[in-house]
Chains A and B, each alone.
Chain A
Amino acid sequence: MKNLKSCCLNDKFSHVYVEERALSYPLTDKILDRFEKSEKIIIKHYKDVFCRPHQDFQLQKASQKLILAVKEDNFLYKGADLCQSFGNSNFYYTSTVLNCIYNCDYCYLQGMYPSAYITAFVNIDDFFDDVSSKLEKGPLYLTISYDTDLLSLETLLPFTSMWLDYAAKNPGLTLEVRTKSSNFKSVSHIESISNVVLAWTLSPQCIIDKHEAPSPSLESRLKSIAAAIDAGWNVRLCFDPVIMTDNWQTVYEDFISRVFSVLPYNKINDVSIGSFRMSCDYLKRIRKQRNDSALIFYPFECKDGIARYPAQIEKSLLDNMVSLVSEYIEKERIFL
C-alpha cells in the first residue's frame, strides 16, 4: 500500500464532500478555509458517499477524504458495556466526527463503518442542545472521542476546542477527550477545565510500530501528556488494548516503567486497562478485507458476540498490567 500511495494515490483530503445543507453553517466555512486546495464536491446526503456498497476501507485510508454533513438526530448514545464509565452514572458518548486519521490494526471502526472517509457534523450546536437538555435532569458523563481521535484532527477540525468551551460553561458535564495524538499544543492556549479529562491511550513503542501506524511515538505522546499535566489538566492514562506479543511481560514492564519515569504519577487522575475486545461481526468483516495484520488473525474466542483473547491469556495480560501499574497508582484509581 505504501508504494501505491507514493506512485498513484491522491494525498489525504484531496477532496472534500459537502452536504448542500451544511453549506449554510459557519463552521463549514471555517473548515473549508483550511482545505483551500481540495476539490469540493457538493452532495445531497453524506450517506450517498459514506454508505456506498463495496467500499475498500484500507484503500480509502491511504487517500482519505473529508465529508462535511449535518446530523439529523441521535446526537448522544448510551455508553456501551464494552467501554469503561469510570464510576460515573449517566454515561453517554457522542460522535461529532466519524472515523480517525490513524489506522490501528485493532480498531473496530474498520468493521463498523462502510467507509474510511472522515465525516464531520457541522451542526455542533444541535449536539450541545441535546447535552443541555440532558443536563437539566442531572449530571452527565460524556465521551466525545470514541469513534475518532478529535484532538489529532484539531488543526483541521476545531471540535475539541468547541467542546472544551461548552464544558467550561456547563459544570454538570464531565467530558472525556480520548486521544493517541501528541497535539496537546493545539488546545494549550485554553485554561484547564476542572470537569474535563484528557485521556491518552498509550502502548509500548513496539506495539505502536507494529499495530498503530501512523500514530505518534510513545515519547511524543508522553511529552504532550506532561505538558497537559503541567498546565493543570486532569489526565487519564488508558492502557487499552493490552496486546499479546513476543516477550509481552518484559515489553509491558519496560513500558510502564518508562511511562511513570516521565510522568508524575501522583498527578494522574486515573488509569484504565483493557485487553483486545471487539464485536465478532466487526472482526469477521475486517478479516474479509485485510491480510496484512497478524493481530487481526489471532485465534480470538468469540463469546456473546464479543471476540477477545482466551480467558486465561486475557487474565494474565490484565493481572500483569494491574500489578505493574499499581506500583505507581492506587488500585482504587485503576479501572478495568
Chain B
Amino acid sequence: MILITTALFHEAKPLIEYFNLIKAPSSTRFDLYSNGEIYLVISGVGLLKSVVATTWLIAHTPKSTSKTAFNIGICGSFSDKYEVGTLVIANKITCHELKRTYYPDMLIRHNFVEAAVNTFLSPADKGEAGLAYEGFADMEAAGFMEAALNFLPPHNIFCLKVVSDYLEPESVSRDLVLKLIARNIVNFEYLFDIGKKINKSFTDVFSSQDYEMLDSISNNLKFTVSLKHQLVKIARQYKNRKGNLDIMAPFCNVAVKSKNEGKIVFEKLKELLLK
C-alpha cells in the first residue's frame, strides 16, 4: 500500500490524475484520494500540518503490514548546480529550529540525486543561503519523518523533492508546481514499484488455507483466545521447519463438547507439532 502526503493541491493534482485517485466521500478532516492501492492526503503547508496529516493518513488507511509512505513536494536548492525539475531523494532530513534529524533507510538502488533536506518553519529565502546548510530546503519533510518513523520501518519511508527554485519562493507559480511534479510522475511510479517489491518479499508463512484450517480447528475444539494464539505460534514454528501443516489435517474433523476436552486435544496437537 502506497501512502502519499503533499503539502499543496498543485503538488497532488498530477498524481491524482495519473493514478486515477478518487476523493473519498467519507473523509472530513483531510481530503483523501485513493484508488484502493494508493492513498494520498493533502496536508497543507508547514511542519506541524505535515505531522498531523501523515499520522492521520497512516491511521485512517486499511490495516496492512506493507504501508510505504512518500512525502512528495517541491523544494528550494541551496546550490544552482541542480536544475529546476531535478528529483531529489532525501537521505537526511533536519529541522534546525527543532534540532531534530531523521534518516530513512537508503536501501534501494536508483539514479536520482540523493541529498540532505532541511525543513524550515517558514519559507526559506536567500537569507538562509548565507547559512552553512547543505542540500535543499522545504517546509514539511521533517514533520513527515517525525510521524512516519513512529509507525513504519525506515525502509518504507521516502521523502521525494523536486527542485523548484534557488531560494526564491515567490518565483514559484502554481503552474510551475504542476509542471514539475508531472514531469517526474514516471520516476515516482518507479519508486512506488520498488517500494511494493520490497514489501512483497516479506511473505507470510501461512497460506489462506492454513488460516482456514487453524480457525476451523480452534472453533471445533472450543479453544480460548489464548489457546488459539499458542496454536498459531507452534504451527508457525512447525511450518517453518517442515514446510507444510499436513500433520494437522486429521484434527479438522475432531469436535469436542467442552473446553476441557479441547485442552486435552490441544496437548496432543502440541506434542505432534513440537516433535
**CB-nearest residue of chain A relative to B92?**
A41
Interface residues as binary, B121-159 with A (CB distance below 8 Å gives 1, 0 otherwise): 000000000000000000000000000011111110000
Report whether B103 and A41 are in contact in the complex, using a CB–CB cutoff of 8 Å.
yes
B240 shortest CB reach to chain A, Å: 4
Contacts of A303 in B (CB 8 A): none
Residues in A whose Cβ lies below 8 Å from that of B168 = none
Known: A9-B107, A14-B106, A60-B105. A55 touches B240 (CB 8 A): no
- Give the dominant DSSP class at A's interface: loop
**B215 contacts chain A at the CB level, 8 A cutoff:** no
As a 0/1 sequence over residues 279 to 293 of chain A, the CB contacts with chain B under 8 angstroms (1 = contact) are: 000000001000111
Say which residue of B92, B154, B203, B242 sits within 8 Å of A52 (CB atoms). Answer: B154
- Please report which residues of chain B, range 62-121, place their CB below 8 angstroms from some CB of chain A when the two chains form the complex: 91-92, 101, 103, 105-109, 114, 116
Which residues from B are CB-within-8-Å of A323?
none
Q: Report the bound CA distance from A41 to B114 in whole Å.
A: 10
B195 (CB) vs chain A CBs: closest residue: A8
**Interface membership of B198, Cβ < 8 A:** yes
**B237 and A299 contacting across the interface, CB-CB below 8 Å:** yes
B190-230 interface (Cβ within 8 A of A): 194, 197-198, 201, 203-205
Closest chain-A Cβ to B100's Cβ sits at a distance in Å of: 10
B274 at the interface (CB under 8 A from A): yes
Bound-complex Cα distance A296 to B205 (A): 14
Question: Cβ of A82 < 8 Å from any Cβ of B?
Answer: no
A17 to B102, CA, bound (A): 13
Residue from B106, B114, B241 within 8 A of A294 (CB atoms): B241
For the complex formed, measure the closest distance between the CB of A57 and the CB atoms of chain B, giving whole angstroms: 11
Q: In the complex, what distance in Å separates the CA atom of A7 from the CA atom of B103?
A: 23
B10 CB-CB contact with A under 8 Å: no
Q: How far is the CA of A53 from the CA of B205 in the complex (A)?
A: 24
Interface string of B157-192 (1 = CB under 8 A from A): 000000000000000000000000000000000000
A15, A59, A293, A294: the one contacting B198 at CB < 8 Å is A59
Q: How far is the CA of A296 from the CA of B239 in the complex (A)?
A: 12
Q: A15-B91, A54-B152, A59-B198 are in contact. Are A299 and B107 (CB under 8 A)?
A: no
Residues of chain A within 8 A of B234, CB atoms compared:
299
Contact A291 B108 (CB under 8 A): no
Q: Do the beta carbons of B108 and A10 come within 8 Å of each other?
A: yes
A277: B residues at CB distance < 8 A? none
A4 touches B198 (CB 8 A): yes
Complex CA gap A53/B146 in Å reads 12
State A65–B153 Cα separation when bound (angstroms).
Answer: 16
Q: Knowing A10-B109, A39-B106 are in contact, say whether A296-B240 is a contact too (CB < 8 A).
A: yes
- Which A residues are in CB contact (< 8 Å) with B101? 43-44, 48
Bound together, the chains give a CA A49 to CA B205 distance in angstroms of 30
With a 10 A CB-CB cut-off, give which of B107, B108, B205, B237 has the most chain A CB atoms: B107
Residues of chain A contacted by B241 (CB below 8 angstroms): 294, 297-298
Given contacts A7-B197, A8-B109, contact A299 B103 (CB under 8 A): no
A residues 2-22 touching B (CB-CB < 8 Å): 3-4, 7-11, 14-15, 17
Q: Are B91 and A41 in contact (CB under 8 A)?
A: yes
CB–CB B155/A8 < 8 A? no
Distance of A296 Cα from B240 Cα, bound (Å): 9
Q: Determine if A63 is an interface residue (Cβ-Cβ < 8 Å).
A: yes
Q: Is the CB of A10 within 8 A of B103?
A: no
A80 at the interface (CB under 8 A from B): no
Interchain residue pairs with CB less than 8 A apart (20): A4-B201, A8-B109, A9-B107, A10-B106, A39-B91, A41-B91, A43-B103, A48-B101, A55-B154, A56-B153, A56-B155, A59-B155, A287-B237, A291-B203, A291-B204, A291-B236, A291-B240, A297-B236, A298-B241, A299-B234
Q: A8-B108, A53-B150 are in contact. List 9 more A-B contacts (CB 8 A).
A: A39-B91, A41-B91, A43-B92, A43-B103, A52-B103, A54-B153, A55-B155, A59-B155, A298-B237
Residues of B in contact with A (beta carbons under 8 Å apart) = 91-92, 101, 103, 105-109, 114, 116, 149-155, 194, 197-198, 201, 203-205, 234, 236-238, 240-242, 274
Across the A-B interface, the 3 shortest Cβ-Cβ residue pairs = A297-B240, A54-B153, A291-B205
